[in-house]
Amino acid sequence: IIGITVSKDENFPAWYQEVVLKADMVEYYQEISGFFVLRPLAMHVWNEIRKWFTAHIEGMGVDEVSFPLFLSSKSLEKEKDHVEGFAPELAWVTKAGDKDLEVPVAIRPTSEAVMYPYYSKWIRSHRDLPLRLNQWNSVVRWEAKQTTPFLRTREFLWQEGHTAHLTEDLAGKEVLEILELYAGVYEQLLALPVVRGRKTENEKFAGGYYTTTVEAYVPTNGRGIQGGTSHCLGQNFSKMFDITVEDPGNKGSHIHVWQNSWGLSTRVIGVMVMVHGDDKGLVLPPRVAKVQTILVPVGINKSTTPGDRKNHEDQVAEIRATLKKAGVRAEADWREGYTPAWKFNDWELKGVPLRLEFGPKDAAKEVVSYARRDTGEKGTIPIADVGAKVTELLEIIQKDMYSKAETSFREHRLKITKWGDVLPALDDKNVVLIPFCLDGKCEDRMKELTTRVDDQPDVPENHKLPSMGMKSLCIPFDQPAGDELVPGETACLNPECKGKAQSWVMFGRSY
Ligand SMILES: O=C1CCCN[C@@H]1CCCn1cnc2cc(F)c(F)cc2c1=O
Ligand SMILES: [Mg+2]
């Protein structure tokens, strides 16, 4: 069967793996585990994101650069206190040819240590600020955990932006501008809703000052997933790497610059697959689909005269040309030896948002028949209007996909004010908003308290309730309405905590 053989709700991890493989998005790199080939369908999504994001950051004055792939242990030394936790993930080159390297070099897992010695050299005066550089590249982190395409891979494509500013306010303003662009990638291009917020102390980037994040939601298992992070590094790295400017207001004294760094990776593609896909395969948002509309000729068979066949081909070619002129990425499927039904399944598997069928009956009525991939809705479009109508239909599909996912996330984001309601809410595939004191130890304890211990002996494997405890996802900028939480007065929800709640914080099982 060319279709997906396992149901999304039955076995989500197996479904996901089958979809990304059978939709020709990736190949497993057989030679070394944890690495994947990104094929044209996936690369098209990444390139649409790259085009959109690049246009926006160029408008902000960010320049593109390319720094070396390797970093030396010396420069790593400078950020050793927060890197030591990551040490197991570092990949090292120790030999060239048959000679050992004098000093081994590490493959970049992120580029702070590669870039910031040059920030120190280039930034002298406050007139050199703001410095705003971005790299589109790949990084390597030798994950110990099980890898999976897009979501957790040992090498991934991302962009990493690194900026330097004169004041905390200027840095803070940019952190939020970039976060809003990350939200835009999800909401405008991938038809995915995200919650914007700040990471707790436990979950922020340890080397930074604070981390802002966009959090997505996976309805199938009710888990949260981090979608992209925009960090304010404060003066931590400028102190480590001696990046200073003369204080414009006080000659002779120096200021350590305020820095940000922000990253978005090909993980976004995995989130798109998980949220929008169904049991027939991928469902692509039109904005990022390599093929937005596929034209499938029908009603042609052995008895069709050569004249009618030629005529039909010309009509299909004309419809396609009209669509291309209207800016629609339209293809026609002339493959021989496959029935229309087979072709319908194949393009549904590949997530093409809109199928057009065209045969002699349609020609007679001067219409083309359509079928939406997201809802399955069918209908006809007068050939005369096909350019405008298809464009409009693709916009409607994009919006409908977003609002369906937005409704699902909103309905599964529950305000909880009683501790006893937390685990049932998590087991019912929700993320929760709870009054929380923001203390890291308390957060650790809540993770333990929500970790299921009984292994449900008589429950079949893929129907067992998940055992993992809940983690904090973010402190939403948009705090829920209602007077149940009075900061500093309302008790933290953790029954063992004596502290007072500071904010509503979103918690959930997560990736
Ligand atoms: O997350 C971002 C956005 C783009 C620029 N970098 C920041 C922080 C990256 C945090 N991080 C994340 N992972 C790491 C893995 C390592 F092996 C390692 F040596 C260091 C790190 C590490 O610093
Ligand atoms: Mg990691």
Nearest-5° Cα angle at 24, 21 to 29: 60
* CA–CA gap between residue 174 and residue 156 (Å, rounded): 25
Q: Which residues contact 122 (CB under 8 A, 6 or more apart)?
A: 128, 131
Ligand 1 lined by 175 (C-beta under 6 Å): no
Tell which atom from ligand 1 comes closest to the C-alpha of 142.
Answer: 17
Query: What is the full per-residue pLDDT of the chain (511 aa) written as tens digits?
Result: 568 999 999 999 999 999 999 999 999 999 999 999 999 999 999 999 999 999 999 999 999 999 999 998 888 888 888 888 899 999 999 999 999 999 999 999 999 999 999 999 999 999 999 999 999 999 999 999 999 999 999 999 999 999 999 999 999 999 999 999 999 999 999 999 999 999 999 999 999 999 999 999 999 999 999 999 999 999 999 999 999 999 988 888 999 999 999 999 999 999 999 999 999 999 999 999 999 999 999 999 888 999 999 999 999 999 999 999 999 999 999 999 999 999 999 999 999 999 999 999 999 999 999 999 999 999 999 999 999 999 999 999 999 999 999 999 999 999 999 999 999 999 999 999 999 999 999 999 999 999 998 878 898 877 888 889 999 999 999 999 989 999 999 999 999 999 999 999 999 999 9
* CA–CA gap between residue 415 and residue 425 (Å, rounded): 10
* CA–CA gap between residue 91 and residue 252 (Å, rounded): 43
Q: Which of 24, 56, 30, 28 is nearest to 43 (CA)?
A: 24
Ligand 1 lined by 160 (C-beta under 6 Å): yes
25: three-class secondary structure by DSSP: coil
With contact defined as beta carbons under 8 Å apart, do 262 and 231 qualify?
yes
Of the bound ligands, which one is closest to the alpha carbon of residue 111?
1
Ligand 1 lined by 228 (C-beta under 6 Å): no
Q: Which residues contact 313 (CB under 8 A, 6 or more apart)?
A: 297, 334
Q: How far is ligand 1, taken at its centre, from the CA of residue 205, in Å?
A: 8
Q: Which residues contact 279 (CB under 8 A, 6 or more apart)?
A: 4, 7, 8, 15
Ligand 1 lined by 285 (C-beta under 6 Å): no
Name the residue of 110, 132, 211, 241 to mutate for ligand 1: max ligand atoms within 8 A of Cβ: 110
The total of other beta-carbon atoms located within 10 Å of residue 30's CB is: 8
Ligand 1 lined by 471 (C-beta under 6 Å): no
Report which protein residue has its CA nearest ligand 1's atom 16.
86
H or E, element range at 236: helix 236-240
Place of tokens 């399955």: 376
The total of other beta-carbon atoms located within 10 Å of residue 234's CB is: 18
Q: How far is ligand 2, taken at its centre, from the CA of residue 152, in Å?
A: 9
Q: How far is ligand 2, taken at its centre, from the CA of residue 28, in Å?
A: 20
Locate the DSSP E strands across 249-376. 254-256, 258-265, 293-297, 330-332, 354-358, 367-372
Ligand 1 lined by 158 (C-beta under 6 Å): no
